[in-house]
């Protein structure tokens, strides 16, 4: 069985944002030489996500608005004032931990005949919720 | 369950036996673990991929 590991480093200029990783992951599959297998893609951080959905700009704005309603940014640590207990550690990213939890840590995509075996509209995205610093995404490919 | 479930419900139920038989025969599943398909925009064909690796 073959195994291939690749790490992508991303640094988003804003606190939140989405990056389409599909072409980078497809390139890693080609590099691996795997024809039949599985491809795991996960964020190596707990304030960012990897997920699959549609490359459509309205949907990405909808997600950000929805996530902001679910877990609004608030650097405070008093829940009575909308803050997060997590921020008692001196951090300000309690909201980002919640946003990442909703959007998920990883995706697994089948590799068939050397290619990512997607449905018609599936694209792989990185979701950043506490950016402006280097973050890493792990791609691990197993198969034959 | 209603006598004549709508198409999107029939699709949902028709997948359950597949998930169950895999759970019993092959997967190392906990006793209560079941695999579900959740539909949120139904009444049209949708596909689920099962990819199995191993020897």
Confidence grade of residue B52 (pLDDT, cut at 50, 70, 90): confident
Tens digit of each residue's pLDDT (9 = 90 or more) over B16-43: 444 444 444 456 666 777 888 999 999 9
Domain that holds residue B6: 1-55
Per the structure, the complete domain to which residue A91 belongs is given by 2-143
Contact A111, A36 (CB under 8 A): yes
What's the domain count of chain A?
1
Mutual orientation of helices A57-70 and A94-103 as an angle, nearest 10°? 130
Residue B18: its pLDDT value, please? 43
The strand order across the sheet containing A48-53 reads: A17-20, A123-128, A48-53
pLDDT of residue B3: 57
Q: d(Cα A54, Cα A76) in Å, to the nearest integer?
A: 34
Low-confidence ranges of chain A (pLDDT < 50): none
Scanning the structure block, which residue is given the tokens 């980002």?
Answer: A96
- Which CATH number belongs to the domain containing residue A124 in this structure? 2.60.120.460
Cβ neighbours of B50 (radius 10 Å): 9
Q: Is the ipTM of this complex over 0.90?
A: no
Identify the pLDDT of residue B54. 79
CA geometry: angle A37, A43, B36, nearest 5 deg: 60
Contacts of B37 in chain A (CB under 8 A): none
Per-residue pLDDT at A19: 98
Task: Say whether A110 and B47 touch across the interface (CB within 8 A).
Answer: no
What are the C-alpha distances in Å from B35 to residues A41, A79, B8, B12? 22, 36, 17, 12
Q: What is the pLDDT of residue B16?
A: 45
Q: Which residues of A touch B53 (CB under 8 A)?
A: 36-38, 142-143
Find tokens 């902001």 and name the residue. A68
Interface of B with A in 23-52 (CB under 8 A): 47, 49, 51
pLDDT at B36: 87
Answer yes or no: is pLDDT of B2 > 60. Answer: no
Interface A–B counts its CB contacts (< 8 A) at 13
Q: What confidence score (pLDDT) does residue A5 get?
A: 97
Domain count, chain B: 1
Whole-number pLDDT of residue B6: 55
């Amino acid at each position: 069985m073959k195994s291939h590991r690749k790490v992508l480093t991303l640094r988003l200029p804003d606190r939140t944002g989405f990056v389409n990783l599909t072409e980078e992951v497809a390139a890693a599959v080609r590099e691996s030489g795997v024809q039949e297998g599985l491809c795991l893609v996960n964020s190596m951080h707990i304030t960012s996500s990897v997920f699959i959905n549609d490359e459509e700009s309205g949907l990405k704005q909808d997600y950000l608005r929805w996530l902001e309603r679910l877990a609004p940014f608030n650097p405070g640590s008093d829940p009575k004032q909308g803050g997060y207990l997590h921020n008692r550690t001196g951090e300000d990213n309690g909201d980002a931990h919640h946003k990442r939890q909703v959007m998920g840590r990883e995706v697994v995509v089948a590799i068939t005949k050397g290619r990512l075996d997607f449905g018609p509209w599936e694209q792989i995205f990185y979701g950043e919720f506490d950016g402006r610093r280097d973050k890493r995404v792990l791609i691990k490919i197993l198969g034959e | 369950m209603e006598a004549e479930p709508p198409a999107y419900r029939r699709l949902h139920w028709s997948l359950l036996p597949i998930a169950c038989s895999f759970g019993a025969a092959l997967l190392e599943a906990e006793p209560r673990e079941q695999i579900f398909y959740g539909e949120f925009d139904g009444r049209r064909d949708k596909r689920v991929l099962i990819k199995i690796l191993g020897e």
